[in-house]
Structure 1
Amino acid sequence: MPNPPDVDVEGVDTPRSGTSRTEPAVRLVDVHKTYDGATPVAALRGVSLDFARGSLTAVMGQSGSGKSTLLNVAAGLDVPTRGQVVIGGTDTSKFSPDDLTRFRRDQVGFIFQSYNLIGHLDVLTNIELPLVLGGRTADRAWLAELVRTLGIAGLEDRLPGELSGGQAQRVAIARALMTRPSVVFADEPTGALDSRSGQQVLELLCDATRRLNQTVVLVTHDSGVAAATERVVFLSDGLVVDDVTAPTAEQVAARMLALGR
């Protein structure tokens, strides 16, 4: 794959190799997303957001607010109808589908509620999969660090079907971090877990932002999960309607209640 092109964000050319540490890990600039059909649906209507490097942010909103669309567009799983999506200093908005796939594989990590592990591959191979698909060799020291940090040492040879839900999500987190991505997007990462496993997974994500300087953006409906993050962005009808720093569970629950009225 050729090197991703430089990006012009607000008139400033920023090469990927020279990305400033103060530049956001992810930037959305006036992002619109409309789904065509008999009645077009405007899922995002001019969203502009920055996600700082090494930050943990929750995105919340009622059903149909646009939060899942925001995650998909920001992660490169979908393309905006209009606007810019910049990841690690690179504008992904005008990539070809193939280049976007390759860029996403190298620069974006994903954690899904359903884990999305490959059932016939063992834990170690699942973790290494993004690198294998990209024709790259795993950094064995980094792999060992992830396995140790995420508490899955001793499970390397097991298949996903032999893991508990909490263990499977830990493997999914390790896979998401394996490429040292610019950002990790998580879609309801604790939604399928019991309260104890969910709390452990949440603590691991918080730890990743602190110790690994990893940027994490997660979608959640759980006010307790959101309160553990540094910032909560609230969406309604495809627009950002609130942006709260250092949230409490009470603040989040009250805001969600107000949005539902």
Structure 2
Amino acid sequence: MPVTLFDLTGRIALVSGSSRGIGLALARGLGEAGAQLVVNGRDAATLESAAGELRAAGLAVHAAPFDVGDPEACAAAVGRIEAEIGPIDILVNNAGIQRRAPFVDFPAEAYREVQRVNVDGVFFLAQAVARGMVARQRGKIVNICSVGSELGRATIVPYTTSKGAVRMLTRGLCAELARHNIQINGIAPGYIGTDLNKDLMADKAFSGWVEARTPAGRWGTVEEVVGACIFLASRASDYVNGHILYVDGGITAAL
């Protein structure tokens, strides 16, 4: 049956930045599709709490706290995961941060931190995982981009810079790794209701702008990103490569 194309039973999925928000929802969705999960975050206590929540839902979960922006930490963590749990079949690069300030006043340190997590973290973790995928001649890498990969907005120039880089990193990895039967694609969420966005959602002027600007007329939910991730992590997407799938209520399709 076609539904088996989306079955992830027997696969091991590493989801970075999965202690909350979109990352936690994606981990849950992959687990419910059958994958054995490895969740990641920098704060071990917060991560273990998220892992416990997933285990309570009956999912097979391992916690791997490490900093994706540190290439040595990425290599060491991937080595441990593959030695102790098994080969990583699916990597979801979700870890990311946001900082807001007028461009002319944006602190250099904050700019570098955004790039370190949002770009370096994707590069180094994908590199560490791809080595094993190349050797095995199979794998799925899903990079979480953003509508900010395509559209600019005031006060978040470093963020859109980083997400534009992730879009091109996705395409570059496709150009180099597709011949090894590795599919590398991206998901670009629009305005999604998360704990990190609760202040923006509570701002009536900003929230009204989002709803008016989005053809769907509302914010998205974290659950609405899950289906795209399962698709790109499964056999259903075996001939999809270098693609950015926008899950944005139509915001990138309309003026």
Instruction: Give the TM-score of the pair, scaled to structure 2.
Output: 0.33
> Greater relative contact order (Cα 8 A, min sep 6): structure 1 or 2?
1
Larger helix proportion of the pair: 2
